[in-house]
Structure 1
Amino acid sequence: MKSINFLKIITIFFVLSFKQSYSMEKIRFLYKDLITLPNDTLKPNKKKNSNLSLAIIPPAIKASGDQFYCPQTTINVVTSILITHDPLEPGTDAGYVQISSGYSGGSDQLALSNSAAHPSVTTSWDAVAGKLKIFSATGGNISYADLEDAIKDVVFSNSSATASGIKTFSITIGNANYLPSTQHYYLFVPSIGITWTAAKAAAEASNYYGLQGYLATILSADEAKLIGEQASGTGWIGGSDAETEGVWKWVTGPEAGTVFWNGAVNGSTPNFAFWNTGEPNNQGNEDYAHITQPGVGIKGSWNDLSNTGDTSGNYQPKGYVVEYGGMPGEATLEIAASTKITIPVATPAANPSPVCDSGTFTFSATPTAGSTISWYDAAVGGNLLATGNTYTTPTLNITTTYYVDAGCELNRKSVVATVNITPSTPVAVSSTVYNCGSGNVTIEANSNIGTINWFTSSIGGNSIHTGNNFTTPTVSSNTTYYAEASNGTCINTTRTPVNIVIYTPPAVTDETVILCQYQKVNLDAGIAGMTYKWSTGETAQIITVTASGTYTVGVTSPAPESCTSRKTIIVDEHLIPVIKRVTVNGTTATIYLANEADYYEYSVDGLNFQDSNVFYNVPAGLRTAFAQGKNGCGGDTLNFVVLVFPEFFTPNNDSFNDVWEVDGMENYPQAEITIFDRYGKLIAQLKGPQMSWDGTFNKTPLPASDYWYALKIDDTHPVFKGHFSLKR
């Protein structure tokens, strides 16, 4: 707040009386108690002792400097600047230059060059806001003259080689952020815990150089970026759905009543909206829009809160964003100016189609508006070939790369004129390929350049394989394939045939032959007039072997076929049977061999052979067991005796069963039979020529009863025991 005493007023009138060009309309006598000056914006008004006050005319800034810029260089943000101001106010707290749109944090920067020429000025760079503050080095106000001189030396730089687009600079006197696209001013006011309704009232009670304040309304991405990201404003903005749940409107400023969102999370956007993911959730009474706390969700996006928000944490209100400008009847301020730079880029059209062998090409490119296209023969430096949006090459016979830019060598883009050489007629590695029997055949052809495509016909048709080597499907008869060479769209239509001739290999059959023990066997390859190679190393058609095993022979037909078939012969050795023993149980005899095998057969009469080694109802007496190989590989015999013990006898002199005797005992002349009664009394002993019992004891007939016997053949045989009945 400035106090203007009577002496200052007289001085002003004195000065103005000699300066006719200064309009008296610029001096207003205000009959009121309070006044807010530009430097006191958003500060409480101070009471004056006099009812007469003088309003300071706001300064006016005019700047020019719409320029082209190449990345990784520096450029002045203005080419000229003029600040006009009220004589009563020769200076201000500070001036500001901000990258208000297109800002790239981390690569864009503003700085004061030639600082030695500005000893009374210092600067401060805010990398988050993209804003350079220019103020007095001594701590007081900076004069408008010094500020004007300093702004002339403010330079912009970008460190990224891939930077593009347009950067807009705002040059302002006040601290509020100025956005040229809206010509409005934006200011974040910190106020921990303030409610939305209180923030709305405070915003509307504020003014900025005479502009009425209101909670910010955001209608574009430029505004969202400047307010939500560069201003670090995590606070209330002027949106609400308190009137109708889910229908969000701007309820402040000149946009009051404008709907920008219908529905919940997946609602529609009739106007610009920038909700955070999952917002607005329309839960409870969350009816007021708030810029999200940094670090929560999408930077600079919005969420919905209740009127009070949370009492702490990420969803506690930290302040509010005031917007100035656009209210009905307001005069346009000139406390801000803007310039811009454009990074010129040439956008080439798609490369022209390739040509065969030689030709010319016409390239085209679209420049950034106002810039000029230049065509070069190198990515850096090189020769300038032409200017303009199109360029037609001379006749080319090799592929050539050209480069185009719109004023920045760093931003050159490459374009390619592709010249494809028509390949020579393919040369087959072998014009005829022979194969023994049906199967897959690999054929090959080459050309000086490009790709080989394979066809089933000499003209037309579709390629069935691409590549120098082609493994065919199964071929069972003579077939011809054709190789064609292409290099891109350049095709040599003369196709090279490759013939496949199928030979029939020798027909062989695997077999198994029997080798008798201690003998030898001949192995026959089976086809005469061939070339043979046995696994034994022998080369005859027939070979002789003496050992079992698996033998193979390669049977090769005569040239030119020279087809080889492989025959396998399994030699299975059969041993000569050796009878180990014969066991007799009554009239059942079982023949046992030293080595059992399924190729043996058995007999007990030498005439009738069977696969089983067990025989039933063998007649009593001396018998012979036979074992032989089914394939005639020899045999073996062994005698055995079958003894038949009668179960009863009837000594009644009727000539039938009158005595008890063991059939077959005649084969054991040394044998002895002892007979006992049921009480163990020895009744008779039979041996030698007397091998039967007539049923008497001391020539006295014994009664009908059961009697027991014990037969001892010799010391090598077990004792046979049993019983029989004497019947009268």
Structure 2
Amino acid sequence: MKIKNITKIFVLFLLLIGPSTKAQTSNVAPILTATGNQIYCPGTSMKIVTNMTIVDPDDLGVTAIYIQISSGYVSGEDILTLTGSHPTINSSWDSNTGKLTLIGLFSQPTYAELEAAIEDVEYFSNATNPSGVRTFSISIGQANYLPSNGHYYQYIPNIGITWSDARVAATTNFYYGIQGYLATITAADEAQIAGEQSEGAGWIGGSDEQQEGVWRWMTGPEAGTAFAFTFWNTGEPNSSGDEDYTHITAPGVGIPGSWNDISNTGATSGFYQPKGYIVEYGGMPGDPIIQISTSTTITIPSIISTTAAEICNPGVVTLGATANVPVINWYTSATGGTPIATGTTFTTPFLNSTTTYFADASPIGCTSNIRTAVTASVNTTPILTTDTNVSICENTGTTLNASTSSGVINWYSSLTSITPLVTGTSFTTPALTQNTTYYIEGNNNGCLSIGRIAINVQVISKPIVVDENLSLCENETLTLNAGINNVSYLWSTSETTNTITIASPGIYSVLVTDLTPQGCSSTKTFTVTQNDLPVIDDVLINGTTATIIVSTSGDYEYSIDGVSFQTSNVFTVSDGGIYNAIVRGKNNCGFDFKEFAVITIPNFFTPNGDGFNDNWTIKGLIYYPKAKVSIFNRYGKLIKQLNAIDNNWDGTLNNQLLPSDDYWFTFKKDENTPEIKGHFSLKR
């Protein structure tokens, strides 16, 4: 029950209870108690308390009460307003600090008048969709009160004061017996109320003077503790030069309420000139317990998360939702109507189809609330249709098709495989060489078809063919045979018979197709080269070596006796004489021949009358009528001349036997060939 002063006594000379430069000991601080943590209906105004009590044993009133949105404040959207009739009290709203001041109009109001006024203070948000929690601190004294930690924050203006002096000066300030210190910021709501919602920008208690780049709190209960808060600051500190001390940035510089590092003295003017310092009260050992502040909260209800649910085929499902308030209401429509259930879960009635319900955390009757849709999905079991037996030719692929009554189709390589090959109504296989089975399964949002369906792909062998390399004799024909029966034929010459006759070389092919419904085909290729009829151009004689030269190209065999043939065109002839050079094509592709003569010059002779080697004879010389041979002794004297008619020497000169010795000769076959020189031995 709130305590009201029966007699309203206005004490005009009572000063505002607040901070001083010395500990207060003579006056008993009042005790403030507020109730009324509530849930807000967006678009409406709401009293911030349901009951307010101020108990003070030695005072009947106070000059002013300060009500501040100490956490969650959104400047430009949140507003506090004094409503009702309060003739002794004037109200003043500061949108920069989020603070409403209730102050005596002509004299000091009584606690009873202040209690009534506080109970008529209303909160309103002009945001379309406000969110979060607003905490309202109600305090005697101008210092900002933060309910989350029970500390007070006060801005002391002092243009040009250094950080060092501010650190000392802060300790000389007391707030209802609590000694102050340069503020230390350890949480986001503290940064907002001490920085952004402060009445001015000034020094706070951080420094990296001990170690460059390592920022520590140098004051208060956090003294010596390192800090770095990304939620509070961006881009600072830059740790340049002697900028070793923390200062709340001036309005319009950087993030509102953030801090910057500047030197101990700061600038002499402008944004970076120190304008004062921020004192924090509370948290130090031995601080007195005071209750000059109290707080309430208004929570703007919102659904934090929802849990949809699915079932296969008609049935019942349970939906879920969480909110930042205790009560969640469930509706069947996005607007209007009455709740069908209350709680963090809702079990639907029997559903035959997918149905959407709506969760709302706002008080019943709040027309501006936004409901959150939560869907109960009723999925049917897929029914699959497909051809379970498919035949294809080997080394080819095919596209398998299937349809489903609902959902999607997953294709698998086995009954138990987890990862599908593809998802869709079709699947193109790779080229297959053996019978293969694939499996399909329907999935409609988690509802699976009854068992996987096997699709058997039968692989039919193609006709077996073997390519051929063939030779065609010049001026003759050749028959090409597909080499397989009971199939259809399509030649590259457009003929459709088993065999064709060709008369020219080239590459020919035939597509043979079996008579099965699949019509599997294979292609046989014939590479036909032509063997030209051989034509002997010449026979080159080099000593005892004869080389047959042909002017045509082909696969030929060679002979000089008509009996023995070889693939080489080079022969060794031991005896001079007339020979026939014969060239014939393999596979009986024609022939040609040419007569040639071979001359052999002996290395010695033995004219001793025994009937062996009695004459030095150049064999084959008789076939060269223009040939001329001259014989000389070692001194160059002409001994004998030979020709095609007189083609041997008996070792005499003028019927006289010449001695055993080496003799020399020159040989010239005709006027167009070079002269050959050599020597031989006469042995007796």
Give the structure-2-normalised TM-score.
Answer: 0.73
Distance 2:331 2:121 in 1: 34
How much does 1:416 deviate? Answer: 0.6
Bigger shift: residues 466-475 or 575-584: 466-475
Bigger shift: residues 629-638 or 147-156: 147-156
Classify 1:433/1:370 alpha carbon distance in 2 versus 1 (closer, same or farther; 3 Å). closer
Name the counterpart of 1:632.
588
How much does 1:588 deviate? Answer: 1.5
Select the residue among 366, 386, 390 that pairs with 2:340. 386
| Contact 2:133-2:297 within 8 A present in 1 as well | yes
Can you list the C-alpha shifts for 1:360-393, whole angstroms capped at 9, x where unaligned? 4443434433655242423xx3654535225454
Distance 2:551 2:202 in 1: 103
Classify 1:475/1:240 alpha carbon distance in 2 versus 1 (closer, same or farther; 3 Å). closer
Aligned-partner residue type, residue 556 of structure 1:
T
- Is residue 427 from structure 1 mapped to residue 427 from structure 2 by the alignment? no
Select the residue among 508, 511, 514 that pairs with 2:471. 514
| Contact 1:549-1:570 within 8 A present in 2 as well | yes
| Contact 2:408-2:425 within 8 A present in 1 as well | yes
Can you list the C-alpha shifts for 1:124-183, whole angstroms capped at 9, x where unaligned? 643xxx5468899xxxx99989x999997886536574x532122446676543213334
Classify 1:504/1:461 alpha carbon distance in 2 versus 1 (closer, same or farther; 3 Å). same
| Contact 1:239-1:251 within 8 A present in 2 as well | no
Distance 1:310 1:633 in 2: 115
Name the counterpart of 1:588.
545
Name the counterpart of 1:403.
358
Provide the secondary structure at the position in 1 that maps to 2:587.
coil
- Is residue 646 from structure 1 mapped to residue 616 from structure 2 by the alignment? no
Name the counterpart of 2:3.
none
How much does 1:298 deviate? Answer: 14
Distance 2:406 2:351 in 1: 18
Bigger shift: residues 345-354 or 470-479: 470-479
| Contact 1:64-1:339 within 8 A present in 2 as well | yes
Distance 2:61 2:396 in 1: 101
How much does 1:478 deviate? Answer: 6.5
Aligned-partner residue type, residue 558 of structure 2:
Y
Between the aligned residues of both structures, percent identity stands at 37
Classify 1:431/1:74 alpha carbon distance in 2 versus 1 (closer, same or farther; 3 Å). same
The 5 A counterparts of 1:224-623 are 224-227=191-194, 231=198, 235-237=203-205, 252=220, 255=221, 321-325=278-282, 328=286, 330=288, 332=290, 334=292, 338-347=295-304, 349-356=306-313, 358-369=314-325, 373-378=329-334, 381=335, 383-384=337-338, 386-389=340-343, 391-407=346-362, 411-424=370-383, 426-428=384-386, 430-437=387-394, 442-452=399-409, 467-470=424-427, 485-493=442-450, 498-560=455-517, 562-595=519-552, 599-623=555-579
Name the counterpart of 1:6.
none
Can you list the C-alpha shifts for 1:608-654, whole angstroms capped at 9, x where unaligned? 22232222244211222223333332233233221112234455555
Distance 1:482 1:325 in 2: 72
How much does 1:489 deviate? Answer: 4.7
| Contact 1:37-1:209 within 8 A present in 2 as well | no
| Contact 2:184-2:204 within 8 A present in 1 as well | no
Provide the secondary structure at the position in 2 that maps to 1:205.
coil
| Contact 2:533-2:552 within 8 A present in 1 as well | no
Please list every run of 5 or more consecutive structure 2 residues that lacks an aligned counterpart in the other structure: 1-5, 84-89, 238-242
Give the paired residue count: 640
Can you list the C-alpha shifts for 1:631-686, whole angstroms capped at 9, x where unaligned? 33223323322111223445555544443332111111232234455666655433
Aligned-partner residue type, residue 101 of structure 1:
S
Classify 1:180/1:478 alpha carbon distance in 2 versus 1 (closer, same or farther; 3 Å). closer
Give the structure-1-normalised TM-score.
Answer: 0.69
Provide the secondary structure at the position in 2 that maps to 1:714.
coil
Provide the secondary structure at the position in 2 that maps to 1:201.
helix
| Contact 1:423-1:492 within 8 A present in 2 as well | yes
Name the counterpart of 1:714.
670
Classify 1:70/1:289 alpha carbon distance in 2 versus 1 (closer, same or farther; 3 Å). farther
- Is residue 178 from structure 1 mapped to residue 145 from structure 2 by the alignment? yes
Classify 1:455/1:674 alpha carbon distance in 2 versus 1 (closer, same or farther; 3 Å). closer
Classify 1:404/1:517 alpha carbon distance in 2 versus 1 (closer, same or farther; 3 Å). same
| Contact 2:302-2:360 within 8 A present in 1 as well | yes
| Contact 2:163-2:265 within 8 A present in 1 as well | no
Aligned-partner residue type, residue 720 of structure 1:
E
Distance 1:384 1:614 in 2: 115
Classify 1:461/1:195 alpha carbon distance in 2 versus 1 (closer, same or farther; 3 Å). closer
Distance 1:637 1:348 in 2: 105
| Contact 1:234-1:318 within 8 A present in 2 as well | yes
Provide the secondary structure at the position in 2 that maps to 1:418.
strand
Provide the secondary structure at the position in 1 that maps to 2:168.
helix
Distance 1:142 1:510 in 2: 119
Distance 1:479 1:83 in 2: 85
How much does 1:606 deviate? Answer: 2.2
Classify 1:273/1:80 alpha carbon distance in 2 versus 1 (closer, same or farther; 3 Å). same
Name the counterpart of 1:269.
none
Provide the secondary structure at the position in 1 that maps to 2:483.
coil
The 5 A counterparts of 1:137-216 are 156-157=124-125, 159=127, 161=129, 164-170=131-137, 176-188=143-155, 194=162, 198-208=165-175, 211-216=178-183
Distance 1:204 1:394 in 2: 67
Q: CA RMSD in A?
A: 5.7
| Contact 2:10-2:61 within 8 A present in 1 as well | no
Classify 1:98/1:582 alpha carbon distance in 2 versus 1 (closer, same or farther; 3 Å). farther
Aligned-partner residue type, residue 212 of structure 1:
Q
Provide the secondary structure at the position in 1 that maps to 2:169.
helix
Classify 1:608/1:585 alpha carbon distance in 2 versus 1 (closer, same or farther; 3 Å). same
How much does 1:229 deviate? Answer: 5.9
Distance 1:401 1:233 in 2: 52
Can you list the C-alpha shifts for 1:25-72, whole angstroms capped at 9, x where unaligned? x979xxxxxxx9779967x9xxxxxxxxxx99999999887554466x
Classify 1:20/1:440 alpha carbon distance in 2 versus 1 (closer, same or farther; 3 Å). closer
Distance 1:209 1:109 in 2: 30
Classify 1:165/1:595 alpha carbon distance in 2 versus 1 (closer, same or farther; 3 Å). farther
Aligned-partner residue type, residue 133 of structure 2:
I
Provide the secondary structure at the position in 1 that maps to 2:352.
coil
Distance 1:299 1:613 in 2: 106
Can you list the C-alpha shifts for 1:448-480, whole angstroms capped at 9, x where unaligned? 2234466899xx967885653345688777677
Select the residue among 69, 72, 75 that pairs with 1:102. 72
How much does 1:724 deviate? Answer: 1.4
Aligned-partner residue type, residue 621 of structure 2:
M
